[in-house]
Structure 1
């Protein structure tokens, strides 16, 4: 009988703090456009700058987490997130908001790098990453339900991210101050499964770009094309993120029975269809249906991709590289979505993004098929409060 597994709550908390900014991108960009003297394209560019900074942190730090020490690096990232997003929330001058977004984005990327590296070292990395997606989806859903009722202004979304970073700080005390890995081993260990890892790194920017080009303008689609109120759009997003929670729970229940190729390949095809529906919506039923179905599929596929990357290298380097490559696409998403929608309209933008997703589904599925020859970590996501698991861990 195997020993019961404990839940790595510090890593789940870090994952949540690191990924919250991309999840809040529609309301963050939408409020910049509505409450600051910037155009919709400029607001999208600010969102892209935030996420590009996050991706840069991931690429720079992928091989340095063990050397610098997870606790120290996580605290540095959380501090940058508090300072950067706090500045963006409190100040109204556009240059200060941009600078705060860039600093905060670097902090988010640093926190994500630590979380990804440590999760890859877990016995069940897929389970840990899925729990992180559950956490960030739940928190983002709560923010979408709350923010419209707290008044106008651009500062509420970045303030929520800064406060989350503060709340996660106590969890860093349970991280190791430094990894117990000999220096020579850290320096000389080659990257395993080089071909599969490089393919994932190459295609992930395009996969994420397509997702976040739509996600970055979804708020504007709901407000302008579907003619909904901000509260209604926020409620749709909250329900959609709730559907994402259910989707990840379902993926966890199915676990290895699905393998890797089916969730990655068929899931990406389903996402492409949802993108078309959402981008073409002219009323509440189509907008809500597309967003909810899309958000139910997206975290499922993402959880398998994160688990796939983690399985390629137990030291977590491919997980960080793939996550940072994903952030590059995420960074380009808001600006791409703004430019495409401004020049071609929302429906044409959706068709272009869907076509791109169908193309890149092929190499992604091929990598998943080849990696499927190695055992897939079993994913079991317990639906219970953190308290019992914390007691077990203690």
Structure 2
């Protein structure tokens, strides 16, 4: 049998460009190891920060060097031209984190190409990326969440008289501390913790610089627990893991700076809490219509035994040291096996 040609699509126009490159490097290695090398042929395709698609030697160079290209402004002609190799792809493996990668836009393009691809479709990706839509979906199936408010950029900037009243409402409904987040950015980008009115005003302005839709969440003293999900219509949950960190909260710098955070897999929590989290993870995965891959994050309030769902990530970090593959490793699925299963799930979903 001829090998399946896997279009490893990475890079992209989000702030997580470098993370995507590292994920792609790990996946490429897994596709060339064990039994995978007899089943798959890797076609790396790199999207520059300016949106231009590159293949063959250029894409391979970025994979090998782990360094992005220094991109200039692209012309419309460059943006509209895909490498000829795209016509040879049997299955796409997109590993673009953040906007224009896991928010449904890329998935819509791959749907138009009528080719199988790893991960959620347009709906699951879009809902999983938008924190407000995500929380609405979670609420519809009865998943417990911390209190939150959804607001818009217009509420912050349209009328100077409205802004103080908005802050008053946030203080009354959520109190301090609270967390202010752009609705449509991943990996803790643009998130701030507010403890005072001054910090709240600054946080709202900061989040609004990234997105027109913003979410403000009540702070909670809790442990951060995560669970990996794998599958399509009958998804399975991994053992659960815990993230601990030395900073005030799990922001972008903490997440991607060596030594600032630690993983504990399996998490040292009661077995009935682990089971509850696994069940909630599958329920969340189904609620947003995710497919293939997903990591679901929770708050575990140890003092009361409460578990609150935080969010789902439909295209989580995928290096060999990332939480998602590490949780499956602890569940008995090796990294190369995990990559293989994701491709097979993409084929299953496309038939």
TM-score, normalising length from structure 2? 0.29
TM-score, normalising length from structure 1? 0.27
Structure scoring higher RCO (CA < 8 A, sep ≥ 6) equals 1
Structure having the larger proportion of residues in strand: 2
**Bigger Rg, which one:** 2
Structure having the larger proportion of residues in helix: 1
